[in-house]
Structure 1
């Protein structure tokens, strides 16, 4: 199995796929040697606080996403399906070029795998994979959509330290969009730095990628084309090329998350009051309900 995977990895050659330089197999030790990626993982540069480098601008984030998308498209063209697509598997070199790490098990073609197999991180995995146990190209598309949300919000796909309704990023994002408080989940560092049409298009791409049904998700080629449109829109509208290390006037990410929880709670409470009021009004008009007690315990 190890030799088979080595042979497969050695044949991969793409600007946005990290190259396998060599390997060593001695007794029970197996070592893979890859190109060094100076800036670490995309995860570290977004929210893991493991780098002293300036935060990535929105244009830089788009460039990284496009590079990673091209890598996935190339792998799919080679009939290779990575079993883990996440911000921990996208790395940046010294020039901030995004490259996909092949330091994970890969499969040729779609195949049945046990649903208990550890595939990716919680919050990144295609729901269809859990239902069918089958890993497909569209499974990768779903996970890449989660990566796009992470890039926009600068937070993990799943964060157990957050309240339950915020823990899973995709669900929280959709909830915020429905309630008109999307600005509270987007990375505060990006406030005022994303062209409106670019943001609209980017969110649309991410949402299409995480469609519950794989057949309705785009191909990676379609994702690339749309992300390139986003980048064109961004470069033609706003200049965010220069990192701003002194952006301290706005709320911190921790403060933004607290505000988000308060808004979600307030919205739910308001919705509950409106629902009760509607029931009370309908009941009164029919002459069937004339008090809260009667609403809760009908005769």
Structure 2
């Protein structure tokens, strides 16, 4: 796509259209000439980083298509600009809905759209998207950054896995191991942390952390004086051994979730 198209769609990257920011990129809501709503991810070229991630994302999203993977509409590579244009996801990220709920906690009788059934459907959809990646005929694609901010929701709360900048294609190659950790702390597979060898099991571990987030509505890493509470995965295992899962389940789910089903998710 031309830079002129993107500038028109985002009103010259109007700050009022900024909907996300992180790492070395900003994301804007845009409207193409056709009327299609899009999310425009603009890398910050001043940092001199992101070229590999930019190219990886284009290559991966150009060869895959699935109901539960976000779609790439186009990209722009003019001058110093590295811009990716995706379908717009109306309901934002999974994390937004898990943590932005002050009104619901202050008034438990308040109806919340984000029901237990919706949470399960989001998890199932995300799992289907990851399974599609892992079963790619060319040896699989490992996402490498599975987390609740990379699970996006459309207007019907259909989940789509996003952000493929750290993805790795093909079978693991022991002769070409990355010499630095990539990914997000709290979601990193301990075995990958130890060996730097990425596999599809790394994504599965990260997805398991997301399941705990959905069940407990708390971040994967928190500040705490209690060591076992800092890491969500360790905290969950601690209470599972105690046989008291209800101690850490999201208060908004109390009375709306079957214990056996919660244990199955666990």
Correspondent of 2:86 among 34, 44, 55: 34
Counterpart CA distance in 2 for 1:115 and 1:147 is: 26
2:112 is matched with 54
Correspondent of 1:6 among 44, 58, 75: 58
Call closer, same or farther: CA 1:5–1:153 in 2, change over 3 Å: closer
Residue 22 of structure 1 aligns to a residue in which SS? Answer: strand
Counterpart CA distance in 2 for 1:4 and 1:170 is: 30
Q: Deviations over 1:197-243 (max 9, x none)?
A: 3122111xxxxxxxxxxxxxxxxxxxxxxxxxxxxxxxxxxxxxxxx
Counterpart CA distance in 1 for 2:263 and 2:244 is: 14
Q: Retained in 2: the 8 A contact 1:67–1:98?
A: yes
Correspondent of 1:75 among 133, 139, 156: 133
Aligned pairs (5 A) from 1:156-171: 156-160=219-223, 163-171=226-234
1:16 is matched with 68
Residue 126, structure 1, aligned to residue 184, structure 2: no
Aligned pairs (5 A) from 1:184-223: 184-203=247-266
Counterpart CA distance in 2 for 1:49 and 1:118 is: 30
Residue 95 of structure 1 aligns to a residue in which SS? Answer: coil
Call closer, same or farther: CA 1:125–1:4 in 2, change over 3 Å: closer
Call closer, same or farther: CA 1:55–1:173 in 2, change over 3 Å: farther
Q: Retained in 1: the 8 A contact 2:60–2:164?
A: no
Call closer, same or farther: CA 1:148–1:106 in 2, change over 3 Å: same
User: Shift of the alpha carbon at 1:118?
Assistant: 2.6
Call closer, same or farther: CA 1:186–1:86 in 2, change over 3 Å: same
Counterpart CA distance in 1 for 2:242 and 2:123 is: 27
Call closer, same or farther: CA 1:202–1:28 in 2, change over 3 Å: same
- Larger mean Cα displacement after TM superposition, 134-143 or 162-171: 162-171
Residue 117, structure 1, aligned to residue 181, structure 2: yes
Once superposed, what is the RMSD of the aligned Cα atoms? 2.2
Residue 91, structure 1, aligned to residue 143, structure 2: no
Call closer, same or farther: CA 1:59–1:114 in 2, change over 3 Å: same
User: Shift of the alpha carbon at 1:162?
Assistant: 6.7
Which runs of no fewer than 5 residues in structure 2 stay unpaired? 1-51, 105-110
1:139 is matched with 202
Give the number of the structure with larger relative contact order, counting CA–CA contacts within 8 Å between residues 6 or more apart: 1
Call closer, same or farther: CA 1:59–1:176 in 2, change over 3 Å: same
Call closer, same or farther: CA 1:129–1:115 in 2, change over 3 Å: farther
Residue 235 of structure 2 aligns to a residue in which SS? Answer: helix
Q: Retained in 1: the 8 A contact 2:57–2:165?
A: no
Please identify the structure whose Cα radius of gyration is greater: 1
Call closer, same or farther: CA 1:115–1:128 in 2, change over 3 Å: farther
Call closer, same or farther: CA 1:134–1:48 in 2, change over 3 Å: farther
Select the structure that is richer in strand. 2
Q: When the two structures are superposed, what TM-score results if normalisation uses the length of structure 1?
A: 0.63
Q: Retained in 2: the 8 A contact 1:124–1:142?
A: yes
Counterpart CA distance in 1 for 2:265 and 2:223 is: 26
Call closer, same or farther: CA 1:196–1:99 in 2, change over 3 Å: same
